[in-house]
Each structure stands twice: as structure tokens, then as C-alpha cells.
Amino acid sequence: MVSRRETWTTEEFGTSHTGAVEAVLADGTVPAPVYFDSGSGGGGDPVSQWSVYDGHRPHIPKAAALRAVCSCGWAGPEHPLDWKAIGDLDLAEGGSEQADASERDWDGHTAQVETTTVPLPETVTMLLERLEEEIDKLTKTSPVAGVRAARRLEVVAERVGYWAARHTAADLDTAQAATHLGLNEDAARKLMARFGRWSPYR
């Protein structure tokens, strides 16, 4: 069962790079998820949100530091918690500076991922940005025209994506394609299959 905690993604990389703030104990280990009594006799859902690790209850350890982590396996530097300064504050408030620093670390990580992807020509990037701006303008005056424009984009993407995916599959294996796209292998395989119109389980 997946524990509940706040996470973030980027539009392009999606769940291939899901970020979160993680609590770290004094011995360097990561605490297990915490279960809160739901009042119905069950243990409730597991929670691993960093702010619950304040040591205020016997079964909840006290975090010594916070760091950013990503679903790709990357982990950022630890940001120590100053419990003397935190005092009686809730950890969500007292540790906000360390949590914000961790989130910035993850932003830096996704920026680094961006540098490993296959670069797009500046002309293509500029055209895509301009197209988005023009459709946004169109939507303000005629929402239905904006929908039609978005649909035309889908048609174009399906048409050009078909041969792009087919040629990529001929040139690269899934791991290589995933690296160039900034995705994990499962996401890359599904994306290629959707554009190339084949089963992702072939």
C-alpha cells in the first residue's frame, strides 16, 4: 500500500519524476509510514508526510533532517532540523524552511533531467510556445474554436508521432529512448506504443 504524502511532478516528465520531501532520522534511516487510528477500529491509511515525524507520540519518531527524493531514485542533500528553534511549533511550520529548500533541490534535479533529454531545435520550441499563446488568446474570444484548435493539435500529434515513434523504435531500445525523453522505461514504452499504435505489451 502506498503511503500518503504531498508529491509534485512536472507536466513533461509526469510520474517518471515524482518528487516529495522525506524525513530522515538521526541514524540516517528513513522512518516507516505512520498509521493514525481512524476511529473505526482500523489502523487507517499509512502516512509518510514529513511533518508528522515530530516525536510527539510514542509510535512516531522525531525527524533529524529533511531531504527531497524522486521516484527515479534520486535523493537530495539533507537539511538538518533545529529542534531548539522549532520549540513548540508544529513541524509543518517549524520545518518549512528545510522543506522549501528540499523542494528547490528537486527543482534543480528536474532541471538536470531536462539537460539529459534530446534537445529540440529553437525554432520548434518557439513555434510550440507561440502556438500555445495563440490558442490561449483564441479561447478567450471563442472557447469552442479553442477546442477545435486543440483537437487539430491532437490530429497533428498523432500523425507526426506515428512515424517518429516507429523510427525511434528502430533506432533505440526502450532504455535509450527513456533517457532521451526524460522518462522511466515504463512511461517511455507506453508513450512510444501510443504514438506508434502498437501494444505496449508486445
Cell 533529454 sits on residue: 117
> Among the listed ranges 7-11, 34-38, 134-138, 198-202, which one has the minimum average pLDDT value?
34-38
Please spell the DSSP secondary structure of 111-149, one letter per residue.
Answer: HHHHHHSPPPPHHHHHHHHHHHHHHHHHHHH-HHHHHHH
pLDDT at 41: 52
pLDDT at 161: 97
According to DSSP, the β-strands at 34-35 and 46-47 are antiparallel
If you average pLDDT over every residue of the chain, what do you get? 94
pLDDT at 2: 59
Q: How far is CA 93 from CA 87, 99, 193, in A?
A: 11, 10, 45
For the chain, percent of residues with pLDDT exceeding 70: 95
* Cβ neighbours around 186 below 10 Å, total: 13
**pLDDT, tens digit, 9 for 90 and up, residues 7-54:** 999 999 999 999 999 999 999 999 999 987 665 555 578 999 999 999
pLDDT at 40: 53
Q: What is the mean pLDDT of residues 172-188?
A: 97
Residue 57 scores a pLDDT above 90: no
Q: What are phi and psi of 189, to 5 degrees?
A: -60, -45
pLDDT at 120: 96
pLDDT at 76: 98
Span between the terminal Cα atoms of the chain, in Å: 28
**pLDDT, tens digit, 9 for 90 and up, residues 71-115:** 999 999 999 999 999 999 999 999 999 999 999 999 999 999 999
Q: Tell me if residue 24 falls in helix, strand or coil.
A: strand
